[in-house]
């Protein structure tokens, strides 16, 4: 046998091997009829899930032990079997985040039209890290960022990034602030960061990850409404400056997680300008309420911040995994995150800003479509109406729960209110009440602890929460309260 004969024989064997492998590999590319069958089953499942939501519990305790025994095998499982597992072991346990009866933590919505956007984005699989790869997709994301700048009063020179959530957005902002003020190992211990005890814990993470945990940190006192005391801030800034330290970063909050309080942003901005400190606003929860003219005055000063964070998976009711960071000076953001590599040389030289130059992420999901599609499909007024409704529903609950004998926190700035029942041992009693409410499960509340006191939180932000759900929540609270009072008497 000649050399050519050996080559032909080898190629024939290889062709047979490749054909066998291709037959198995093509299982990852279902046929048109298979796709239609799977899609129909999936959409039927989703329709059934959404249709049942009005009567579904807000919380259900379940161990989900069956998932522990589930193994991944070599040959796969039928789609309907997997849907059955999803229904029983995932979508009917824990907090029902899609339901209007979810009133704990800060609810995220999960718009169905956003889910359609995600499906379209995932199926087309456009790479949106760089403009060169997918100009249209990047333009959609950049247009969403510019719209967000517009509603918060940021100038055309601002830019930002659609992130996986408020935690990543906060990290991007904090590192940008560090870059802008040239904080490094030589001066970090002289730099000072200011925030209140109500600052979200993701900011503490961001400070730690960026090395700013080595900076001086000042916890600024709050007033009776849990807002930053700007006189105390002014005193702290002046004292640190006089002591040769460098006031570097002030973090204000526009809608705290615990109480929904909005710090006096305009007064904080004045102080930041006076001391040349970077002003960051955490508006992850509250930012989208700036769309409502009646309460926009509460956010006065947000437009003067150097950076801010908003979560569209909160105030825009999008699915989890949607955050945004905005930075007033786009050049500072780009200086912090832009980087070049030789293998990407074809991607350079375009005028449009690429998302990968504005964050830690290079590979990322096309997040912009889940926002772009609902905004264009429904229009902004539908979102405004939902936000205004949530404010009124929260006020309704706040007044009604007081009539049941509960002590409440301050009148709500936004759509979160606190309540606790006065008792000889109020902390123990309210923990017992919360446990009973979780066991009941018709609606879901969470709790917090402020100044050593246990409070139950009602957070109204799901686009599926309406008067019916609030009235159900009040009945549930009243019924469980009466039962526990009988048990302890």
Q: Chain-wide mean pLDDT for the chain?
A: 94
Q: What is the pLDDT of residues 282-292, one digit of tens each?
A: 999 999 999 99
Which comes out higher in pLDDT, residue 340 or 112? Answer: 112
Predicted confidence (pLDDT) at residue 323 exceeds the cutoff of 80: yes
> Average pLDDT in the 387-391 region?
97
Residue 294's pLDDT is 85
What is the three-state SS of the chain?
CCHHHHHHHHHHHHHHHHHHHHHHHHHHCCCHHHHHHHHHHHHHHHHHHHHHHHHCCCEECCCCCHHHHCCCCCCCCCHHHHHHHHHHHCCCCEECCCCCCECCCCCCCCCHHHHHHHHHHHHHCCCCCCCCCCHHHHHHHHHHHHHHHHHHCCCCCCEEEEECCHHHHHHHHHHHHHHHCCCCCCCHHHEEEEECCCCCHHHHHHHHHCCHHHCEEEECCECCCCCECHHHHHHHHHHHHHCCCEEEEEEEEECCCCCCCECCHHHHHHHHHHHCCEEEEECCCCHHHHHCHHHHHHHCCHHHCCEEEECHHHHCCCCCCCEEEEECCHHHHHHHHCCCCHHHHHHCCCCCCCHHHHCCCCCCCCCHHHHHHHHHHHCHHHHHHHHHHHHHHHHHHHHHHHHCCCEECCCCCCCEEEEECCCCCHHHHHHHHHHHHHHHCCCECEEEEECCEEEEEEECCCCCCCHHHHHHHHHHHHHHHHHHHHHHC
**Per CATH, is 116-378 categorized as 3.40.640.10?**
yes
Q: Dihedrals φ, ψ of 250, to 5°?
A: -115, 130
Q: Dihedrals φ, ψ of 160, to 5°?
A: -175, -155
* pLDDT range class, residue 147, cuts 50, 70, 90: very high
Note the CATH number of domain 380-488.
3.90.1150.170
Q: What is the pLDDT of residues 394-447, one digit of tens each?
A: 999 999 999 999 999 999 999 999 999 999 999 999 999 999 999 999 999 999
Write down the domain spans for the chain. 116-378, 380-488
* Predicted structure pTM score: 0.94
Residue 13's pLDDT is 86
User: Which range among 54-68, 188-202, 402-416, 457-471 shows the weakest confidence by mean pLDDT?
Assistant: 54-68
Check for a shared fold between 116-378 and 380-488: no
């Amino acid at each position: 046998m000649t050399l050519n004969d050996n080559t032909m024989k080898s190629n024939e064997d290889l062709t047979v091997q490749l054909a066998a492998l291709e037959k198995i590999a093509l299982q990852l590319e279902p046929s048109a009829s298979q796709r239609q069958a799977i899609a129909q089953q999936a959409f039927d499942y989703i329709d059934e899930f959404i249709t049942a939501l009005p009567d579904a519990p807000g919380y259900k305790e379940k161990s989900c032990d069956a998932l522990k025994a589930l193994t991944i095998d070599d040959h796969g499982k039928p789609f309907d079997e997997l849907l059955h597992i999803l229904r029983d072991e995932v979508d009917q346990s824990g907090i029902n985040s899609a339901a209007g009866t979810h009133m704990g933590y800060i609810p995220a919505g999960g718009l169905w039209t956003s889910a359609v956007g995600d499906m379209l984005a995932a199926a087309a699989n456009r790479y949106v890290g760089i403009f060169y790869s997918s100009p249209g997709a990047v333009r959609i994301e950049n247009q969403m960022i510019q719209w967000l700048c517009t509603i918060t009063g940021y100038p055309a020179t601002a830019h930002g990034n659609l992130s996986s959530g408020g935690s990543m957005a906060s990290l991007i902002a904090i590192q940008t602030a560090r870059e802008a003020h040239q904080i490094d190992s030589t001066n970090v211990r002289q730099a000072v960061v200011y925030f209140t005890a109500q600052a979200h814990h993701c900011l503490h993470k961001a400070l730690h990850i960026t090395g700013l945990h080595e900076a001086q940190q000042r916890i600024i006192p709050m007033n009776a409404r849990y807002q930053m005391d700007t006189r105390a801030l002014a005193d702290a800034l002046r004292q640190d400056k006089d002591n040769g330290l460098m006031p570097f970063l002030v973090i204000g909050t526009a809608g705290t997680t615990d109480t929904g309080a909005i710090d006096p942003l305009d007064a904080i901005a004045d102080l930041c300008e006076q001391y040349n400190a970077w002003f960051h606003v955490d508006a992850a929860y509250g930012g989208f309420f700036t769309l409502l003219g009646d309460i926009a005055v509460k956010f006065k000063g947000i437009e003067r911040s150097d950076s801010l964070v908003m979560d569209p998976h909160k105030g825009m009711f999008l699915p989890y995994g949607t955050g945004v960071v905005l930075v007033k000076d786009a050049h500072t953001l780009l200086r912090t995150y832009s980087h070049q590599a030789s293998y990407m040389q074809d991607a350079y030289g375009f005028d449009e800003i690429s998302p990968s130059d504005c964050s830690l992420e290079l590979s990322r999901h096309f997040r912009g479509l889940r926002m772009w599609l609902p905004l264009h499909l429904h229009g902004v007024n539908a979102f405004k109406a939902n936000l205004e409704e949530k404010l009124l529903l929260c006020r309704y609950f706040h007044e009604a729960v007081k009539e049941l004998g509960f002590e409440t926190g301050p009148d709500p700035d936004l759509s979160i209110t606190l309540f606790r029942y006065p008792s000889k041992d109020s902390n123990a009693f309210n923990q017992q009440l919360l446990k009973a409410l979780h066991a009941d499960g018709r609606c879901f509340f969470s709790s917090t602890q402020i100044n050593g006191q246990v409070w139950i939180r009602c957070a109204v932000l799901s686009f599926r929460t309406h008067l019916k759900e609030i009235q159900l929540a009040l009945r549930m609270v009243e019924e469980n309260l009466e039962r526990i009072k009988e048990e302890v008497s």
